[in-house]
């Protein structure tokens, strides 16, 4: 007998090691409860086992009954029956015959044809001493559950509760993340709908205002007094055109978001295989686009350097490629102070062709880098922009060009990314660069400026064009 008792203890201790190995493989709560119940039945030599957990939202005990109930979920009030008594009071219940206790509900046996005899029920606690639920075992082989069984089950459920608690926390985190994702999607839909509605609401009254201005201009008398009125109309037209441009850009952004959520528009997706797709030497093409940008930014004092390890071809629509290069260079010029420098680099890796546009300007904060491709977004406070003219330093912009590039990339197979280091002397969006290196109190020369901040936009094309 002592030998058999020793063997039984070894078997039970070994089962604890197996428990950790089994339920450590999977963090799905339902499957874990099944594994714990199965292992408890095996080691306790009982016929059935149910592991009930408390649901605080409904104040119920629920269980995915693994053995004998076809894996169905059952729910009972947290104070009902022997399981409820055990959970409410924290008392262990050990009965040689459950039918002798009036708290036992015989209806389940009557419905299933099962005959419950011995019953053992014990509370399950988390590491803070709060009751998670109860474990219930039925019909031990060879007679009722012993005091030794009680001691072992106490150890067993202490081990199991650790995994249950970890899994519940993991499940709660996943549910919270999923809820956050759904909320973000809902807010994005609301944002797009609001922008769409605003765009359409602006279109009609703006068209009416423009028509009335044109009508009034035609009716102006040809006398000196009307010259002052003509100046007023010019101001009205200039600001009206600015509002119209914002309306058109808003409309474009709304369409772009819809295409992005839908995986890109069919027209853009098919464009790569259309007759407009050509094999274009990237370095030469970049040089041609750069000359146009130099002409447009001739009033600026900026050095441009075009570098490359070969004139690698890419398969692209020339109009779209020029739009991409022009947009990146314009963005670089508007963020580079006078006496600064911009580098354009073309190179090839194993299976990609890279084009990089690098400016040594103010840089972009880490927070702003997360939203730079979202449209209607600029990297400084609106009231700090010094000019609204294209290619001027700090000219501003709404991020529309970068958003359109990202949409093009999804449809045409290229990637667009950004890396940036904010100028160490201008750590926040409200810190202002004077716009000329020689006017900066922190820099003794261009090299000091070049080492203080930079931004690189990289376009990665598939090789083989």
pLDDT in tens, 378-398: 555 544 444 467 899 987 655
Helix-helix angle 29-44:2-23, to 10 degrees: 170
pLDDT in tens, 54-77: 988 899 998 865 445 455 678 888
Contact predicate 149/140, CB 8 Å: yes
- Whether 229 and 298 map to the same domain: the answer is no
Sheet holding 415-421, edge to edge: 302-308, 340-348, 352-359, 454-462, 415-421
The first and second tokens of residue 393, run together, are 């330093």
Cα distances (angstroms) measured from residue 240 to each of 174, 253, 379, 416: 49, 20, 25, 34
Please report which confidence band the pLDDT of residue 23 belongs to, taking 50, 70 and 90 as the band edges: low
Amino acid 245: pLDDT: 74
- Whether 196 and 120 map to the same domain: the answer is no
The pLDDT of residue 377 is above 70: no
Mean pLDDT in residue range 145-173: 81
CA–CA gap between residue 25 and residue 322 (Å, rounded): 53
pLDDT in tens, 195-246: 666 666 777 777 788 788 788 777 776 666 666 677 777 778 877 877 777 7
Boundary residue ending a domain (203, 233, 266): 266
Top-confidence residue, 373 or 426: 426
The first and second tokens of residue 271, run together, are 């464009």
> Count of domains in the chain?
3
- Whether 103 and 241 map to the same domain: the answer is no
- Whether 9 and 133 map to the same domain: the answer is yes
Boundary residue ending a domain (132, 157, 178): 178
The pLDDT of residue 89 is above 80: yes
- Whether 380 and 438 map to the same domain: the answer is yes
- Whether 64 and 174 map to the same domain: the answer is yes
The burial class, CB within 10 Å (0-12 / 13-18 / 19+), for 302 is buried
The burial class, CB within 10 Å (0-12 / 13-18 / 19+), for 365 is middle
- Whether 156 and 200 map to the same domain: the answer is no
The pLDDT of residue 166 is above 70: yes
- Whether 284 and 341 map to the same domain: the answer is yes
The pLDDT of residue 274 is above 50: no
Amino acid 266: pLDDT: 38
Torsion of CA 141, 143, 148, 152, to 10 degrees: 40
Proportion of the chain above pLDDT 90, given as a percent: 30
- Whether 234 and 316 map to the same domain: the answer is no
The first and second tokens of residue 196, run together, are 């769409």
CA–CA gap between residue 192 and residue 195 (Å, rounded): 5
Contact predicate 354/365, CB 8 Å: no
- Whether 421 and 318 map to the same domain: the answer is yes
pLDDT in tens, 317-352: 898 899 899 999 999 999 999 999 999 999 998 889
- Whether 167 and 138 map to the same domain: the answer is yes
Mean pLDDT in residue range 262-270: 44
Amino acid 44: pLDDT: 84
pLDDT in tens, 295-312: 999 999 999 999 998 899
- The domain containing residue 290 runs over which residues? 270-462
pLDDT in tens, 243-256: 777 777 667 666 66
CA–CA gap between residue 449 and residue 302 (Å, rounded): 13
Which CATH number goes with the domain that contains 194? 1.10.287
Contact predicate 428/380, CB 8 Å: no
Cα distances (angstroms) measured from residue 217 to each of 111, 232, 338, 369: 91, 10, 41, 46
Boundary residue ending a domain (266, 283, 299): 266
CA–CA gap between residue 274 and residue 267 (Å, rounded): 10
CA–CA gap between residue 6 and residue 218 (Å, rounded): 110
Residues in the chain, overall count: 465
Cα distances (angstroms) measured from residue 444 to each of 9, 433, 439, 451: 80, 15, 10, 12
Amino acid 298: pLDDT: 95
CA–CA gap between residue 17 and residue 7 (Å, rounded): 16
CA–CA gap between residue 159 and residue 13 (Å, rounded): 12
- Whether 217 and 275 map to the same domain: the answer is no
CA–CA gap between residue 232 and residue 85 (Å, rounded): 86
Helix-helix angle 282-296:318-334, to 10 degrees: 50
Q: Taking phi first (over 0 means left), then psi (-120 to 50 degrees means alpha), and beta for anything else, what does residue 45 get?
A: left
Which CATH number goes with the domain that contains 454? 3.30.565.10
CA–CA gap between residue 418 and residue 331 (Å, rounded): 12
CB atoms within 10 A of CB 29: 16
Which CATH number goes with the domain that contains 81? 3.30.450.40
């Amino acid at each position: 007998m002592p030998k058999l008792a020793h063997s039984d203890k070894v078997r039970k201790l070994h089962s604890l090691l197996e428990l950790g190995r089994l339920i450590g493989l999977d963090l799905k709560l339902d499957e874990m409860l099944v594994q714990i119940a199965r292992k408890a039945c095996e080691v306790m030599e009982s016929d059935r086992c149910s592991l009930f957990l408390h649901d605080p939202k409904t104040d119920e005990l629920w269980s995915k009954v693994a053995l004998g109930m076809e894996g169905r979920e059952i729910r009972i009030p947290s104070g009902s029956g022997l399981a409820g008594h055990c959970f409410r009071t924290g008392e262990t219940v050990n009965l040689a015959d459950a039918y002798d206790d009036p708290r036992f509900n015989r209806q389940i046996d009557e419905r299933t044809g099962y005959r419950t005899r011995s019953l053992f029920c014990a509370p399950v606690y988390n590491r803070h001493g709060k009751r998670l639920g109860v474990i219930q075992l039925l019909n031990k082989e060879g007679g009722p559950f012993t005091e030794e069984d009680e001691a072992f089950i106490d150890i067993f459920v202490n081990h199991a509760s650790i995994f249950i608690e970890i899994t519940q926390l993991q499940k709660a985190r996943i549910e919270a993340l999923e809820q956050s994702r759904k909320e973000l999607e809902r807010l994005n839909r609301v944002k797009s709908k609001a922008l769409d509605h605003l765009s359409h609401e602006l279109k009609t009254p703006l068209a009416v205002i423009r028509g009335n201005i044109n009508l009034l201009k035609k009716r102006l008398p040809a006398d000196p007094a009307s010259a002052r009125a003509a100046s007023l109309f010019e101001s009205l037209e200039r600001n009206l055109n600015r509002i119209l441009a914002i309306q058109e850009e808003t409309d474009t952004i709304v369409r772009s978001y819809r295409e992005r959520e839908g995986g890109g528009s069919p027209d853009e997706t098919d464009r790569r295989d259309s007759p407009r797709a050509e094999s274009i030497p990237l370095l030469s093409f970049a040089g041609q686009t750069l000359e146009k940008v130099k002409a447009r930014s001739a009033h600026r004092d900026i050095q441009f350097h075009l570098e490359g390890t070969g004139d690698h071809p890419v398969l692209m629509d020339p109009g779209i490629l020029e739009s991409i290069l022009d947009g990146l260079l314009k963005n670089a010029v508007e963020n580079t102070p006078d006496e600064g420098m911009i580098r354009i680099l073309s190179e090839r890796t194993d299976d990609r062709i890279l084009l990089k546009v690098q400016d040594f300007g103010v840089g972009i904060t880490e927070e702003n880098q997360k939203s730079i491709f979202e449209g209607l977004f600029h990297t400084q406070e609106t009231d700090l922009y010094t000019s609204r003219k294209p290619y001027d330093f700090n000219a501003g912009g709404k991020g529309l060009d970068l958003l359109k590039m990202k949409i093009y990339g999804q449809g045409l197979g290229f990637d667009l990314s950004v890396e940036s280091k904010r100028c160490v002397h201008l750590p926040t969006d409200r810190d202002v660069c004077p716009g000329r290196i020689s006017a900066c109190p922190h820099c003794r020369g261009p090299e000091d400026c070049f080492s203080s901040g930079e931004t690189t936009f990289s376009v990665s094309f598939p090789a083989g064009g």
